Amino acid sequence: MEKRFKTRDRKWTVMSFRGFLEELHQAGLMNEVQTNVSPNLEIAERAWGSGPIFFNNADGNRCCLNLLGNRDLLARCLGVAGPDMVRHLSSVSYEGQVKEVDSMPFQECVSEPDLTRLPIMTYFAGDGGPYITSAVVAAKFDGKINACVHRLMVIGRDRLAARLVPGRHTHQFYQAAISRGEELPVAIAIGVDPLVLFAASTRVPPEMEFQYASSLRESSVKLLHLDNGVPVPEAEIVLEGYITGERVPEGPFVDITGTRDLVRMEPVIRLTRMMTRETPIYQGLLPGGGEHKMLMGVPYEPLIYRSVSKVAKVKNVLLTDGGCCYFHAVVQIEKESEEDARKAIEAAFQAHGSLKHVLVVDTDIDIYDPQDLEFALATRMRGDEDIVIHPNVRGSTLDPRSVDGITTKVGVDATSRLDKLWKFQRVTPKGMG
């Protein structure tokens, strides 16, 4: 967990993927590697623990990783101070405007699909194969559009195995198409504006991902409709194809926990066309790394914030690094009644179904400081009164301690008692509080 945010400079003018890379270069934040590296394990080893990193020669290709690897980078893209990011995200409208266009730079090179031409990475020994991990996958069914981020395992020159989470919109589209005897048209965009990638990682109302991205960017996302009818944003690389009825084993894959997810039977994407810029820059995403956490975990923070705001005076929300930026939430409230903390706990669980543990604290606790959080637990929580336990409830299959996704959830009220505030105030040389 980062104790303090450091990036409070001007907002980056991010209007494209390459524009973002240039901003990172100009800010002195990009680590460049000139020597040849292999996409098979070596890139992941070099990128592990690094900030934004650019490889100029990945077996003859250019690629980058860790572009949004911490809260500073994401906050700067959004033009806010780090501690204000959740409040900002919770206030952004989902209803931005998109702009349809007739051409895009990724049409410079159009060819038959051949995934061997791309530096698609095998990240860890034991992975099921090379994985595309940073692509926005757009799908279209009955005129409806969905955009999401799915991991895609390479199983051939023109074939991918896609992890589709049951109940999510892409999976719903896929099931509906297959039930009609149809294949689901998709477009896979690699190397997109970071805020488009963030929007596609966020749980928003149906068909609103690109509109939400426009609101985040404060400018319209441009979309081009491909031959299969699916709209796609500006990108370095675009793969056009269809999700078929064929299913194959997908995995193993290291997920956000840094542990291996299950191997499942998942559908196959049949690619029909590959489009790239003349000298494309491939973007990878290190499984279990900081960028994975920023894109998979942080989008839940504004959802929790909105949910808690309906029952208590919420000030901030954090999914902690130690909780994989996914399982553990800290909710900061301005307490007005003794029931507020418990209401906040239940609202947080309702907003993010994969949460295991929720800690509610007062406004004088620095939620980014683990020692402050431990202080709240040590001095403001009593085990027989302030702990809420929900056994045998639906959680996440990513939790190694769950059984088929069933787990126990725990909420902790570590707030001061309102009738005895004087007992909980911290004394400093400057006075109380």
Residues 99 and 28 in one domain: yes
The stretch 337-360 carries a mean pLDDT of: 97
Indicate if 278 and 314 belong to the same structural domain: no
Same domain, 93 and 170: yes
10 within some domain: no
Q: What is the CATH number of the domain that holds 387?
A: 3.40.1670.10
pLDDT value for 431 = 55
Annotated catalytic residue: which of 72, 158, 193, 255?
A: 255
Q: Quote the number of domains for the chain.
A: 2
Q: State which of 269, 294, 319 marks the end of a domain.
A: 294
Whether residue 255 lies inside any domain: the answer is: yes
Whose tokens are 């596609």? That residue is: 200
* Domain harbouring 92, CATH code: 2.30.110.10
**Domain membership flag for residue 12:** no
Place 2 in a pLDDT band, splitting at 50, 70 and 90.
Answer: very low
Considering the domain architecture, whether residues 290 and 303 belong to the same structural domain is answered as: no
Which of these three, 233, 262, 294, is where a domain ends? 294
The answer on pLDDT for 433 being more than 90 is: no
Q: Which of 294, 322, 347 is the last residue of a domain?
A: 294
CB 390 within 8 A of CB 409: yes
What's the pLDDT score for residue 1?
Answer: 36
Domain of 38, in residue numbers? 17-294
Per-residue pLDDT, averaged over 333-362, amounts to 97
158 belongs to the catalytic site: no
Whether residue 369 is found in the same domain as residue 313: yes
Tell me: do 320 and 269 sit in the same domain. no
> What is the residue-averaged pLDDT of the chain?
93
Q: What pTM does this model have?
A: 0.92
Shared domain for 254 and 311, answered yes or no, is: no
Position 11 confidence tier, pLDDT thresholds 50, 70, 90? low
Claim to verify: residue 68 and residue 206 sit in the same structural domain? yes
Quote the pLDDT of residue 6. 47
Which of these ranges, 131-135, 166-170, 278-282, 384-388, has the smallest mean pLDDT? 166-170
Mean pLDDT to the nearest integer, 13-33: 89
Bridge-based pairing state of the strands 237-250 and 184-190: antiparallel
> Do 204 and 133 reside in the same domain of the chain?
yes
Residues 254 and 108 placed together within one structural domain of the fold? yes
11: in domain: no
Together in a domain, 47 and 181: yes
